[in-house]
Structures are given as structure tokens and as C-alpha cells.
Structure 1
Amino acid sequence: MPNLGDEFPDFAAETTNGPIKFHEWLGGKWAILFSHPADYTPVCTTELGVVAKLVPEFEKRGVKVIALSCDSVEDHHGWVKDIQNYSDNSGSWPYPIISDPKRDLAVKFGMLDPAEKDAKGLPLTARVVFIIGPDRKLKLSILYPATTGRNFDEILRVVDSLKLTAEKKVATPANWKHGERCMVLPSVKQEDTGKLFPKGVEVVSVPSGKQYMRFTPQPE
């Protein structure tokens, strides 16, 4: 599996939107690559349907979405009809699904779940989430087992945090949501906070007396 901060490897693949080269498809934007165990499986069907409905939210954030499943493009197209029917989502399918029938990409990116196997006894692809920045570097990875569906509201929250903290000298605390106050990075000197954070900084006192719990309204 790629490490955080590494450039995400380029690859060529067939998708429901035709062949792609991954770096070319990225086009200097934020992107999410999320993998699935197999087509025509129940949890995956719920997940892809949810993401299809959330595409406008990802687009508002300038984030592209692409899925991967270890079946053929032909199977993907048939499966999409089931997904749309289940999720009550008609019209054109809004994002590509990569075909990985030989599991080449699943192996390359450490996506396999050894505890879950298909009818042939082969390990299924786990539910991996990779978030890649405009610099092509891996910003976040989350690995779920095949049996546990993802919370895509959490993934939207993480995208908001990643984009904010990439641009401003802040971090986001536990359970943070867009619009809530942030924390000033420890690397920011106290004398510089007035210039960097014109909305003010609140220092919360702690028994150690160290002034590291510094909060500020979310920067614009």
C-alpha cells in the first residue's frame, strides 16, 4: 500500500468511461479512489449508490471520484443498473468504475482482504479509500474489511479537513465539522497568531501550564 506523502503510482486501466491513465485522469485535482470486493454484492451496491448521490458534494469541493472492483467493464455496466434501481438514482452514471479482473491493482496497492474469499477461493478486495492531492501525493488512506460498509459523510468531513489544513496553518480537532473552530499548529509562534488569525485565538489553560491548546474560528 502506498505511504502517506508518497506520489501515488500511475497506472493504466479499463473503466466504464473507457481506458484511462491515472495521472492524466487526475488532471491536477483532488481525487478519491475507493475499492470494492466484487460486482453484484450487497454492501458495495449500497456504497456506490450513496457516492453517486454525493457526487455534487464532491464536485463542490473540487474532488474527482473513481471506484475499483475486481470484475469486467461489462459486469460493471450491468451492475450499475442494479445500483441505480436500488438507490433510486436514474440518469447517466456520474463516475468511472475501474475494472481489475486479475487483481493486479488490488495486489499492487495492498487492497486484498485475506479473511474474505470469493467462490474461487481468491481473496476479495477490501474497502480501501485513497485521497490524493493535486500534487499526486497520497494524503489519506483508510482500510475497511470487506464486511463493513464505509461512512461517506465521514469521508466528506475528511476532505474538508484535508483541504483546509493544506492551505491554512491549522489542524482540526476530534469530531470537527466544516465551520467549527480549528486548532493553531504548534509550529506557529504565539507572536505570529495575531497576523495569521485575525478572528482571534483562544488559549485553553491546562495543568501543565503549556499554551498548546490554541483554538481559532475556521479561517476563510
Structure 2
Amino acid sequence: MPGITLGDTVPNLAVETTHDNFKLHDYFADSWTVLFSHPGDFTQVCTTELGAMAKYSHEFEKRGVKLLGLSCDDIQSHKDWIKEVEAFTPGSKVNYPIIADPNKEIIPQLNMVDPIEKGKVFKD
């Protein structure tokens, strides 16, 4: 399966996010980054996971670790979703960027999709 695996260097993709547009290596810079993906906005499990990351974002920050989400929807959907995430996680703010991938071009390059589902939903 094409894409990255453990130990590989993440490709320096140009991405559009809820915070800004940037290249991944510029965002990573000289720090650790947790990159996590979700198939779509407004799903129950994904919403609670993003809320948990928001709730503990200060702990990651204290350790010099950046957070970066990715979902296969557009920026406006992400911004609307963030409101729901914060509503379900009282006192937490989603202060990390979320990458938009509405054309499903980024997620397979990062090898962040189930190989069985890839053939059903994603272009090779």
C-alpha cells in the first residue's frame, strides 16, 4: 500500500487548515507532532476524540508537542464542527489546526486509511 509507514518521513504536503495554510514540515519544525485523522466531521466518536485532545492540549503543549487533526471535510464544516466539539467538552477549546481534505487526496498519501475501505472510497 502506498503511503508512509512507521519510521518514514512525512511528505511535506501543502495543506489548508482551520488556522492557516502551510506545509507540514513548516508546522512540525523542530518539535514532535501528533497527527490524527478522522473520516468525517460530526461523527460521535470523532467528536469525542477531538474533544479529548482539546481537553489535554495544555499537557501536550507543556511537553513541546503540537497537535494536528485531519478530516475529509472542508474548512467551513470543520469550523462548524469545532463548535460542537467544544460544546461536548465543556471548558475545552480546539486550539490546534484541523486539515481539510474534501477531495480525499491527503489521507491516502499519509497512509491513514484502512486498506479495505480505501478501495471503496478513495482514489488510487
Structure 2 residue 104 is matched with structure 1 residue 103:
yes
Distance 2:32 2:113 in 1: 24
Distance 1:49 1:66 in 2: 13
Distance 2:117 2:106 in 1: 19
The 5-angstrom pairing of residues 1-220 of structure 1 reads: 1-89=3-91, 93-113=94-114, 114-115=116-117, 122=121
Q: 1:122-177 deviations in whole A, cap 9, x for unaligned? A: 36xxxxxxxxxxxxxxxxxxxxxxxxxxxxxxxxxxxxxxxxxxxxxxxxxxxxxx
Aligned length: 119
Q: Partner amino acid for 2:84?
A: D
8 Å CA contact 2:18, 2:99 repeated in 1: yes
Distance 1:3 1:107 in 2: 12
Instruction: Extract unaligned runs of 5+ from structure 1.
Output: 124-220
Instruction: Extract unaligned runs of 5+ from structure 2.
Output: none
RMSD: 1.9
Distance 2:102 2:90 in 1: 28
Structure-2 change in CA distance of 1:70 and 1:4 (3 Å): same
Offset, 1:7? 1.9
Offset, 1:63? 0.4
Q: 1:1-49 deviations in whole A, cap 9, x for unaligned? A: 3133322211001100010111011121111100001001110000000
Give the % identical residues: 43
Distance 1:15 1:52 in 2: 16
- Report the counterpart of residue 186 of structure 1 in structure 2: none
Structure-2 change in CA distance of 1:122 and 1:7 (3 Å): closer
Offset, 1:115? 4.5
Query: Structure 2-normalised TM-score?
Result: 0.87
Q: Partner amino acid for 1:21?
A: K
List, as ranges, runs of 4+ consecutive aligned residues in structure 1 with deviation greater than 6 Å.
none
Q: 1:89-116 deviations in whole A, cap 9, x for unaligned? A: 355x310000001111111122223349
Distance 2:104 2:110 in 1: 10
Larger fraction in strand:
1
Query: Structure 1-normalised TM-score?
Result: 0.50
8 Å CA contact 1:49, 1:89 repeated in 2: no
User: For 1:112, what is the secondary structure of its paired residue?
Assistant: coil
Q: Partner amino acid for 1:52?
A: A
Distance 2:4 2:111 in 1: 8
- Report the counterpart of residue 153 of structure 1 in structure 2: none
8 Å CA contact 2:51, 2:92 repeated in 1: no
